[in-house]
Amino acid sequence: MKKRHMELLAPAGNMDKLKMAIRYGADAVYCAGRAFGLRAASSNFDNDQLKEAVEFVHSHGKKIYVTCNIIPHNEDLTGLEEYLQFLESIKVDAIIVADLGIFLLAKRVAPGLELHVSTQANTTNYLTTEFWKEQGAARVVVAREVSIEDIKTMREKADVEIEAFVHGAMCISYSGRCLLSNYMTNRDANRGACTQACRWKYNLVEENRPGEYYPIEEDEHGTYIFNSKDLCLLKYIPELYKAGVDSLKIEGRMKSVHYAATVSKVYREAIDKFLEEGDDWYVRDEWYAELEKISHRPYTEAFAMEKPGEEAQNYGKSSNTQTHDFIGLVEGYNAEEGYAYMEQRNNFKVGEEVEFCQPHGPLVKHVITRITDEDGNDIDVAKHAQMKLRLYIDTPLEEYSMMRRETKQK
């Protein structure tokens, strides 16, 4: 019996990230315009770029969803009606909405838009899922706080598509409904301006001893009591499939091109292998190795199987770690002369050991023996930002392969 399709949905904070996510295996991407989304610090897309993005994604037979998921105040609604009609006119595949008012307005002024309910709407049970379906939602993005068993019940009792986060940053606040940022900095996380106050270092103050600060847990880094680990549900792909999840969502519109491409490729391979192997499927070590190469905090399974305990928090430090740096992008390969056309993304030089992560093919390891500039003049080091050059390598490389190098430990 043919297995049903399960979508892989990747983040796209800008055009480069969008294109790389699609090239590296995502079935769909989600992005935001310059307003009404929850990532104001991201570069996002102006209207012309949104139109270009839709055309690019559709030309690859994939889908694009646009976030309109702020929790708006009255002044935030200015221009919303025209924006929704614009999104309908360029044929985005759906918008992602958290606020009921925006949801109702979209139904009235842009009835051709498919509506997906954001995780910000805090959907944690089948009655709420059923409610959203009756209002006209095509899909519900469930809260991160639900288990896979919860999702299964929601999918069985309400016939609406279910989207679930499987990878990326977690928030200490319920489904990202943050108040800390607003309270401490007057920047409203629910309107797209989160300062990630939950990642800061905190100490304890006793009420009758103002000014006396006590470390909650002391080490050389400090104390980060609200600092959640990153979600990784790679090994639960079979359970998510059996629970009826329609779309696996990767968090990270603020993350790098390297992140968007690498995570998309890992989950693409894992999903495809599961659909091919069924009950014989298993997690490959190389998939986890790839997920260590990108910028991330330690991984957690969060609420997938049970309520997480203290181990889901990262108390030691708030910064990310990664084992590899993205240092160059392959723009083509000259098979006759045996070199790759490269765009430099970080300083590298002759003699260094590097690897190439390809959109479809296997990982290629290589020691750099020769580099030339665009005119064929030999150089020892690629030191200028985004310079064009030739890197000699016998192994043919796919266009848009990422050249990486092990991170230099400080």
What digits encode the pLDDT tens for the residues 149-201? 999 999 999 989 999 999 988 776 656 556 666 656 666 655 556 666 666 66
Query: Final residue of a domain: which of 253, 277, 306?
Result: 306
- 24 and 130 both lie in a single domain: yes
Query: Final residue of a domain: which of 187, 214, 241?
Result: 214
Q: Is residue 1 part of a domain?
A: no
pLDDT at residue 312 is higher than 60: no
| CB distance 270 to 301 below 8 Å | no
Q: Is residue 123 part of a domain?
A: yes
Report d(CA 354, CA 368) in Å as an integer: 7
SS3 category, 339: strand
Q: Is residue 203 part of a domain?
A: yes
- A 10 A CB-CB count for 135 gives 13
- A 10 A CB-CB count for 365 gives 9
For residue range 246-296, what is the model confidence (pLDDT) as tens digits?
999 999 888 899 999 999 999 999 999 999 999 999 999 999 999 999 988
Q: Is residue 313 part of a domain?
A: no
We report the CATH number of the domain holding residue 71 as 3.20.20.70
Minimum mean pLDDT among 18-22, 97-101, 314-318: which range?
314-318
- 298 and 361 both lie in a single domain: no
The number of domains in the chain is: 3
- 88 and 164 both lie in a single domain: yes
- 269 and 338 both lie in a single domain: no
- 13 and 87 both lie in a single domain: yes
- 84 and 155 both lie in a single domain: yes
Q: Is residue 221 part of a domain?
A: no
| CB distance 322 to 406 below 8 Å | no
- 181 and 280 both lie in a single domain: no
- Per-residue model confidence (pLDDT) at position 92: 98
CA dihedral (318, 319, 323, 328) positive or negative: positive
We report the CATH number of the domain holding residue 365 as 2.40.30.10
- Per-residue model confidence (pLDDT) at position 145: 87
CA dihedral 133, 137, 139, 141 (to 10 degrees): -90
For residue range 24-68, what is the model confidence (pLDDT) as tens digits?
999 999 999 987 775 555 568 999 999 999 999 999 999 999 999
- 79 and 122 both lie in a single domain: yes
Q: Is residue 345 part of a domain?
A: yes
| CB distance 121 to 142 below 8 Å | no
| CB distance 344 to 384 below 8 Å | yes
- 72 and 86 both lie in a single domain: yes
Q: Is residue 223 part of a domain?
A: no
- 270 and 374 both lie in a single domain: no
Query: Final residue of a domain: which of 273, 306, 339?
Result: 306
- 281 and 386 both lie in a single domain: no
CA distances from 367 to 20, 206, 333, 360, 380 (A): 25, 58, 17, 21, 13
Domain membership of residue 186 as a residue range: 175-214
* Beta-strand relationship, 28-32 and 7-11: parallel
Query: What secondary structure letter does DSSP report for 14?
Result: S
Count CA atoms within 13 Å of residue 148 on its CB side.
Answer: 18
Cα 149 off chain centre by: 24
pLDDT above 90 coverage of the chain, percent: 69
| CB distance 163 to 139 below 8 Å | yes
- 370 and 291 both lie in a single domain: no
pLDDT at residue 215 is higher than 70: no
